[in-house]
Structures are given as structure tokens and as C-alpha cells.
Structure 1
Amino acid sequence: MNPSGSHPLTFFDFFDFIWKLTPVGRQFKKDCDFVHSVAEEIIDKRKETLDKTADETDRKYLDGTGRGLTKLEIRNEVDTFLFEGHDTTASAISWVLYSLAENTECQRKCQAEIDDVLEGRESDDLEWSDLAKLEYLTMCIKEGMRLHSPVPVVSRDTENVFDLGDRVAPKGTKIQLNIFALNHMENLWGPDHMEFKPERFSKENIDNIKHFQYVPFSAGPRNCIGQNFAMNEEKVVLTKLLRNFTFRLDPNHKVKRVMSAVMRTKDGMYMFVEKREFLNK
């Protein structure tokens, strides 16, 4: 299907210069122009603020070569924050809720921790300082991303000859890292790797996780620029949901994973949602 979902792609649609002349191609360009205008407006406002407040000797906005990013490079990063993260974060939140609904004791521990943090508040809104207090919820989020891998595969192109030990990858080789497989290697995670165990990420056990063993946001210079934002977003959304509701799985519906750019389900994820009456809301 084409981006608008209106009709199947034809052979000629695979040639950009032809596709751009079609109605859907023109609409796609119009949509992209709008999206880019939103990002550029954000960039211009931020630049205006920096120009008014930054000291001329302040070089923290320059890269390692002493120059700043071009407007296109900045826009690409802004696009990542605004658009590319919503699908992966939604997947992560859904799968964490699935595991919490499946493991009721873990869900109760999360709710108890949230209730403790918000005790005596007139509002359920989190403050910035609250995020670090949600230690058990953070463990559950990390374990949910390990177990279900919201981004199951990442790709990289080698810029130089890459020595893999028993073979050599030439420059320009496309290499894929199967994060889902990495997260379920028995020699790394044990025979219970298919079980939801948040304690893997407790303070006592976190040092046992080897470097590059757990890379839900990829790793290295091309890792996810929005990973801290995504983690905080997941904490805020899950806190709001678990503070107000309890989740149970539908026993008559089997959830099946579907590997794609983002981990999905074959036939949806059905849950029963019950309001936590003790809150008197």
C-alpha cells in the first residue's frame, strides 16, 4: 500500500520522479513540507532564545570539530524526537502493561510504589524529582523492553573494513543486530529468559549485565538520541495508568508477537481495565 493507504503501489511508483507526479506523491510531499515546517519553527525559536541568552564564549552547542550542526542535521534530530519515537514508545508501554497484567504481583508492587510517591498530593501529576523515585517501575520497564524488544532489529552500514574475527566485512556492508535474539540468549540471561523478572535490573543485579548485553536503544555513536526522553515518557504514562487502573489479560485471547520495524501483535492485545475504587474518583 502507498503511504495514504488508498491504493496498491504499481511498478512505476518505485521510480521517485514518476511517483512524485502522482496524486499520492504530491500529497506526500505536501505532508512532509508541513512536518518539516513544524520542526523548523521549533528550531528557529530555540535558536532565537540561544542568540539572546548564550555567551559568545559558550561552545557547548558545537560538535567535536568546533562547528555546529547544519539546520538540516538539526531538523533530522528534531524529527526523531517529534515523530519517530511515538511508535516505539507506544509499543514499549503496551508490552510493559501486558507483562504487568500477566504478572499481577509485579503490577501491585508498581502501584504501591506510585501510591507512595504521590501520597498526600492533590494531583496525580508527577514532578521531575519523582521520576528517580520510581525504581521498581523502572525495573519493570527495562525488563519489559528486554522481554518484548519494542525495536527488535537495528541496522548499520560499515564505513570501514570491519573485522568480525572469523571473517571480514568489507566497507559498505549492511549489518543487522537482532536485539530480540540478543535479549533471549540463554548464556546471557539464563534458562528463564522468556520469563518476566524485573529483579534482573535491580541495584544488586545490574552490575552483572555485561556491556552491550542490553541495548534496547542500540548503542555507540548512532544510538537513540531520544532514549532518556522515551524512558521518562514511559514512566509518566505508566504512572498515570497504574495509579488509576488495574489491568487484567483476556484469558480467551492469545497475544502473538509480530516482528517488524516495531514489535507488534498479530491480532491485538486485549485487556480488562478496572478503576481503582479506593482512590474515590
Structure 2
Amino acid sequence: MTLRSSEELRRIAREIGCGVVAATTAAGSGHPGGSLSIKEVLSVLLFRIMRHDPDNPTWPGRDRLVLSKGHAAPALYVALALAGYVKREELYGLRRLGGRLQGHPDHDPGIAIEASTGALGNGFAMAAGMALAAKMDGSRYRVFALLGDGELQEGIVWEAAMFAAHHRLDNLMAVVDRNGLQLDGAVEGILSVEPLAEKWRAFGWLVEEADGNDVESVSDAIEELLPRPGRPKVLIAHTEKGASSSVMRWNPEYHGKVLRREQCEEYLRENGCEGWRCG
């Protein structure tokens, strides 16, 4: 992909938000809150950092992106549409029977969906396996895994973290969407994951933190981590769940609830979402 300017990345992130709200409202179901929190991260990864080719989606040398927090699939689908893997009109078929864009990602290399995810923690473990496979094959591709902070309550995450450190998988980067909320409320009130940075360091990972809703902060942190050899890397991205929506921001109710049509239309107006519709 062509290296995009920060202004372009902000525009792409805004478009991802527009598509998330439009597609989930059209579907009448989905997970918009945690999809909106990762729109800047996806913008940076797919449009600045990762090596991939929409015209050759199964290119063996491509970087892999695994959405371990699979419920945020709407954001991934919109980002892939903006990158040229999926037709924009197909987004309005989100979660429809027989469609490709299901409620959680369904493995489809032809549209850059590298793994079926949704059972929390499993995607991260698969990403670690992909990174080890690259090492064994002598391949230069990198693997990026996007996790939720509530997902870190799963034991498989820490098993995979130990595995990656043991095998010195410096071609693996995890990005934690640290928005502080999960389905039932605040992460820290349900099962604390702190001290988070220290935990990852104790497991042998290189750690950086960033404002996850600022494309420059995310990009700078990733570019700081990527060249450092010998250990897997993690970016803790501090984000707002429901970012860019006055209705959904910091509201755990919208983990798995979508906006009503009139709320969707208001969001599209407020965010300058030209060409998008609510169904």
C-alpha cells in the first residue's frame, strides 16, 4: 500500500466510523462500540504500516492482520472495503445469511480475512502460530494481532504470550484496544488486567503505549517497536469505546447494540459521512 499522510489516515478513520454505523444500523445488530474504538488503529495498520496488495490478496509475502477481538468485524470489513478488498455496497449485507461478511470474521484469504475469530484469545494464539510459521519458512512477513482489553482476561492469551516470547517471535505485534469497557461494564470492575504494561514486559514482550484514537501517536509507537529485534512486541492503545459518537462514547450498552435509524442519520451528519446511508 502507498504510504498515506496523517491527514489521509484521519480521513480514512472517519470513513471507517461512518461505515461501521451505517452497516450495523442496516443489519439491525452488531458491535459498533468496540468497532469505533479501533478505527484509527486499522487506518494506520492497513494504510501505512502493513505490506499487502488488494490486487493479489494471497501474495505469500503479505503481512497478516488477525482481528482477535472478532466482534469488531464491522470496522475490519469497512477498512478492507476502503482498501479495495470488498465492494462498499457489500457492507450493507453485514450479518446476512449466506453473505461473506458475518458477525465475526470467517476465514477468507481472498478478502484478507486471515482467520476465523470471535472465541476470545484464539485469534491471538493463531497469530502467534502464523509468526512461528514465517520464521520456520524463512519468510519476511509480519503478523499483527488486534485484541480487546477484556479479551486479556482469557488464559489462552497469556499461554500464547509465553509461546511467542519463548520462540522470540519478533515478527509478531499485538495491539491491545485498551478502551476500558467490555460487555458487562468496566474491565477493571469485572476482572482487572492491570498493571498491564508490566504484565507484558514480565512475559518477555517489548511494550509501547499510545493514544489509540490519534493516528500519529499510533503510527509513531508502532514504528518505534517494529525495528527492535529479538522479542515480540505489543502496543497498548488507549482508546474510547464508541469514539466519535456522542451517544455511544463510554457507554457499554453499545458493546452489542446498534443505533436506531434516526441516531444513525444524526451520526452521519455530525461526522460528514457523505455517500453513506442507514440501510
Instruction: Specify the TM-score bucket, using the shorter chain as the normaliser.
Output: under 0.3
Higher fraction of helix: 1
Scaled by the length of structure 1, what TM-score is found?
Answer: 0.25
Scaled by the length of structure 2, what TM-score is found?
Answer: 0.25
Higher relative contact order, chain-length normalized (CA < 8 Å, sep 6+): 2
